Structure 1
Amino acid sequence: MKKAKILLASLVGSIIEWYDFYLYGTATGLVFSSLFFPNHDPAVSILIAFATFGAGYAARPIGSIIFGHMGDRIGRKASLMLTLIGMGGSSFLIGLLPTYAQIGIIAPAMLVILRLLQGIALGGEWGGAVLLATESAGKGIRGFFGSVPQLGVPIGLVLGTFSFTIISALTTEAQFMAWGWRIPFLFSIVLIVIAVWIRSGIEETPEFQRKKEQGELEKIPVVAVFKYNAKDIFRLIGLKLGDGFFNVFLMSFILVYATTYLDYSRDTALLGLTLSCATMIITIPLVGYLSDFIGRKIIYTGGLVAMIVLTIPYFMTIPINTTWFFTMQIVLLGFVWGAIFATQGTLFSELFPANVRYTGLSLGYQIAAAIVGFGPMIWTAMGTSFGASPFAFGGFMIASLVVSLVLILFAPDTRVVSQYDDDVEDKVTSLDNEVKEKTAVELS
C-alpha cells in the first residue's frame, strides 16, 4: 500500500504538471497567436506565439537549479509540493488573462511571465517525480517504477487536448475564442488541490533519508554536480536532444503543421494527437517493466534506430489522408517514442549519486528541453521557406537523432552499473518481503 501511494503521488502530480504545460502548447497555435499576438500576417503571429512557448522551455533549467537545490538539500517532497503550486497557479491565472484587444501590449507581457513561471515549476517537477518513484523502488523494479511518472506526459496531454476538443465541440468558433478556451486553464485549480492533498501524505525517499542522516548532503549541489559529474550532464543533454526535437514536433507543433501545411481540420489534428498519446499510456509501463529484464540501454538504442528509419516515411505519408496521419502518429509517437521515454527517467537518474541526483537529473534534462523548445520557431521558418517538405523536416530530425544514437552506444548499461545505493535498495526490498510474508501469515 505504501508503494502504491508513492507511485500515485508521483503520477498524479506529474499528470497535472504536464496537463498545465501542454495546455499552453495546444492553445498556442489555436488561440494565443490571434488573441494575444495579432498581426496582419498569420505566420508572424504563430512565430511570435511559439517564441513564448519556447520561453517556457528556456525557463526550465532555472527551475531545475532552484528546485534541484531544494530537493538535494531539504528533500524531494518539499520541492515537489512547491512545483505543483507554481504550475497550477500560473495556469489558473492564464485562464483569467484579458486579451490584446482588451488591454493591449500588457496582455502578451503577462502571458509570457506566466509561461516563464510554468517553465520554472516544470523544471523542478519532472526530476523530483522520477526520484520519488525510483528511490522508493526495490531492486529489480526500478525501471517500472521510473516509468510510472512518465505516464504524466501522455495522460496530461490527453486530458489537455480532450478538454479543448470537448469545449470546441460544445461551443461555436466565436464562443470558443471568446471564453471557451479559458475553461481548461481554470480547471487546473481543482486538480492542484487534489494533488497537493495526495502528496502531503507521503514520506521522504529512503536514499535521501540516508544521505541526510549520514551528513553527506552537498551545500551547493549544482557546484558539486559540475565538479564530479559534468560528463554525465552533457551526456544526458545529448541523449535527450534527438528524441526531444521530434517529441516537441509530434506533441505540439503537429497541430500547426497539420492544419497550416496539410489542410487538416483542427479537430482532426487534435484527434490524431490524442490517439497517439492514449497509445503511450499502454506502451510506457510495459516497456518500463521490460527494461528491468533487458536493460534501459538496449531499448533506448532500438527506439532511436526505429525513429531514424521511420522519419522520412512519416513526413511523406501523413499528408496522404487521415488514416495515414493517425497511423503514423500512433506508431512514431505512441509506440517508438513512448518506448524511449519509458526508460529515460530511470536511465538518466542512474547516472548520478543521491546527494546531487535531483540537480543533475533535472538540470541536464531541462537544458536539453530548453534547446528543443525553440524547435517550433525553426520549423515555422522552414515551413515558410520549404512548405511541408519531408526531406527538410526529416533531415532536421535525423541529424539530431544521430547525435543521441552515437552517445547511447557509448553510455554505460545502468541496469548493471548505476549510482543507486545498493544497501538502501536491499533494505527496501527486504522490507517489502517482510510485509508480504506478514500479510501471508495473517491471511492464512
Structure 2
Amino acid sequence: MNEDTTECASLRADGIPTSSMSTSAETCPTPIGKVVMASMAGATLEWYDFTLYNALAALVFNRLFFPTVDPLVGTILAFSTYAVGYISRPIGGIIFGWAGDRFGRKTVLLVTLFMMGVSSLLIGLLPTYDAVGAAAPLLLVFLRFVQGMALGGDWAAAVLLSTEHGSQQRKGLNGSFAQIGPAAGTLLATGALWIVTTTVSPADFASWGWRVPFLLSVALVAAGLWVRRSIAETPQFRSLKQKHEVAQSPITEVFQSHLGSLFVAGGVRIGTDVLYALMATFSLTYVSQVLKLPRPIALAGVLSGAAAQLVLVPAFGSLSDRLGRKRVYAVGIATGVIAAFAVFALFDSRQPVWIVIAVIFGFAAHAAMYGVQASLVTEQFDSQVRFAGSSLAYTFAGVIGGGFAPLIIATLYKRYTSPLPISLYVAGALAVSALALACSRSSEARPN
C-alpha cells in the first residue's frame, strides 16, 4: 500500500482524519468513476455551448447579427466569428498550459469551466443587431473569444485527469472518457435545439427561442463545478511536486526540446477537426439552405451521429489499448476520406433516412480518430511538460484545422456550387494527419 492509500485509510467516512497526521482528501486517490464524471462534465458543458454556437451560426446568427448581407454571405460571416473561438484557443493553451504544468490540473479545470459557463450565459442574453447595431456582432465576437480561451485550456486538463488516473494499461479507454464530452455536449445541444425548433414557430425561434438553450447551460455549470471540486490532483503531478521536478518554464521547454512532438501531436488533429466541421456544422447548412429541406431533418442527423459517438468513442479508445493507437487511428483516417465523398451523395438523395445514415457514418469515422486522440497526443510528451505540450498541440492544430474549416467549406461551396472541392479539402486535411501519424510515437498494445 502506497503512502497516499495509507493516509486515505486513516480517514473516517466523513473525511476527518483519525490520526494526528494532517491528511487532506486532495492527496487521496480519486475513484476512476468520479474522475470520469469530472472529466466529462466540463467537456460536455463546453462542447454543449460550442455546438450551440456552431449550429446557430448556420441557422439564425446570419440574420440576427449580420442582417444587411446575402444569407449565404451572412453565414460565412457568422462562421468567421466561429473561427474567432478557435483563434483564441492557443492563447488559452499557452496560459493554462503553463498553469497546468506549474500548479496542477485541478485548478485549470475549475477556472476554464467557470469562464465557459459565464460567456455562454451572456451570449444567451446578448442583444441583436436590430437592438444595438454594430455592437451586437462585436460583443458576440468577444464572448466567442472567451469561450475559445476556456476550451483551449480545458481539453488538456480533462484528458490528463483521465489518463493520469487509473491503470496505465487502459490509457486509451481512460483518455476516451474525456473525448465523450464533445459527443455528449453535441447531443444535448442538438437535442435542445430540436425541442425548441419543433415547439415554437420560426419567427419565435429567431426572436427568443434560440436563447433558451444558452440559458439552460447554467445547470451544467453548477453540476460541473460541484463534481470537479471533489476530485484529487492526478498522481503523476503529485509525484512531480514531491520530487521537486515540476517544470519552471513548461512553454519554453516544449519549444526548445519537444518541437518535433508538437508538430506530430498537432498534425494528427488537423484532419479530425476538418471532418468534424463538415459533419457537425456544414451538414446543417447544406441540408437546410442548399437542399431546402426542413431544419429538423438536418438536426436529426447530427443528433443521431452524436448519440453514436457516445458508444463509439470509448469503444475505439479501448480497442487502441489492444491493437495500438496507430492502427485504430489509421482506420479512422481511411474511413474519413471515404466519408468526405460519400456523405454528399447520400445528402443529395434528399431522403431523411439516408441523410441520417450519412451523418452517422461521418461521425463514426471521426470517432475512430477522436477516441484514440487523447492518449495518442499526450503520449508525445514527457510528464513535466505534458499539459503545456498537449494544450499547444491541441489549440494550434485547432486553428489550422477546425478554426477555419467551416469558413473554407462554405466559401468553397459559394465559389464552385459543388461539393467536390469540399470533399477534396477534407481528404487533403486527413492526408496531413496520416503523415503526422506515421511520425508519431505510441505505447503499442502488448499481447496478453
TM-score surpassing 0.5?
yes
SS at match of 2:225: helix
3-state SS of paired residue (2:302): helix
Mapped partners of 1:293, 1:54: distance in 2: 37
Deviation at residue 393 of structure 1 after TM alignment: 1.3
1:193 maps to: 222
Letter in 2 for 1:414: S
In the alignment, structure 1 residue 380 sits paired with structure 2 residue 402: no
> Which residue number corresponds to residue 56 of structure 2?
27
Aligned equivalents of 1:306 and 1:80: distance in 2? 33
Equivalences for residues 175-324 of structure 1 within 5 A: 175-320=204-349, 321-324=351-354
C-alpha distance in structure 1 between counterparts of 2:443 and 2:83, whole Å:
32
**Residue pair 2:129, 2:137 contacting (<8 A) in 1 also:** yes
Q: Deviation per CA, 1:230-284: give whole Å up to 9, x if none.
A: 1011112211111211111111121112212222221111111100110111111
Using the TM superposition, give the Cα deviation of residue 145 of structure 1 relative to its aligned residue in structure 2, in angstroms. 0.5
Q: Which secondary structure does the structure 2 equivalent of 1:325 belong to? A: helix
- Counterpart residue type for residue 158 of structure 1: L
8 Å contact from structure 2 (residues 264, 439) kept in 1: no
User: Who is 1:425 aligned against?
Assistant: none
Distance 1:310 1:18 in 2: 23
1:105 aligns with 2:129: no
1:415 maps to what in 2?
Answer: 444
> Is contact 2:92-2:149 (8 Å) kept?
yes
Question: Does the 8 Å contact 1:19/1:156 carry over to 2?
Answer: yes
Structure 2, unmatched stretches of 5+, are 1-29
> Are the aligned partners of 1:303 and 1:336 in contact in 2 as well (CA < 8 Å)?
yes
Task: Show the 5 A alignment for 1:34-183.
Answer: 34-183=63-212
Q: Counterpart of 1:435?
A: none
User: What residue in structure 1 maps to residue 15 of structure 2?
Assistant: none
SS in 1 for 2:79: helix
CA distance in 2, matches of 1:63, 1:137: 27
Per-residue Cα deviation, 1:388-438 (whole angstroms, up to 9, x for no partner) = x23211111111111211221232233369xxxxxxxxxxxxxxxxxxxxx
How far apart are residue 300 of structure 1 and its match? Answer: 0.3
Listed one character per residue, the Cα deviations across residues 360-381 of structure 1 (whole Å, up to 9, x for unaligned) are 0011111111122111211222
Q: CA deviation at 1:317?
A: 2.5
What secondary structure is seen at the aligned counterpart in 2 of 1:97? Answer: coil
Letter in 1 for 2:121: F
**Cα distance, 1:386 vs. partner?**
1.5
**Is the contact between residue 116 and residue 147 of structure 2 (CA under 8 Å) also seen in structure 1?**
yes
Deviations 1:58-117 (A, max 9, x none): 111111111111111111000110000000000000011111101111111111100000
Give the conservation status (yes or no) of the 8 Å contact 1:31–1:177. yes
- Is the 1:297–1:414 contact (alpha carbons within 8 Å) kept by the matching residues of 2? no
Instruction: Answer whether contact 1:53 1:373 (CA < 8 A) is retained.
Output: yes
Aligned residues: 415
Which residue is equivalent to 1:427?
none
Shift in Å at residue 309 of structure 1? 3.0
Report if aligned partners of 2:322, 2:445 keep a CA contact under 8 Å in 1.
no
Give secondary structure in 1 for the equivalent of 2:168: coil
Q: What percent identity do the matched residue pairs reach?
A: 37
The CA distance in 1 between the partners of 2:240 and 2:278, in whole Å, is 40
Match of 1:346 among 368, 375, 397: 375
Q: What is the distance in 1 between the residues matched to 2:376 and 2:240?
A: 21
Query: Residues 199-226 of structure 1, C-alpha deviation per residue, up to 9 Å, x if partnerless?
Result: 1011000000111111111122110111
Divergent runs of 4+, >6 A: none
Offset, 1:310: 3.5
Distance 1:365 1:15 in 2: 17
Cα distance between partner residues in 2 of 1:216 and 1:166: 51
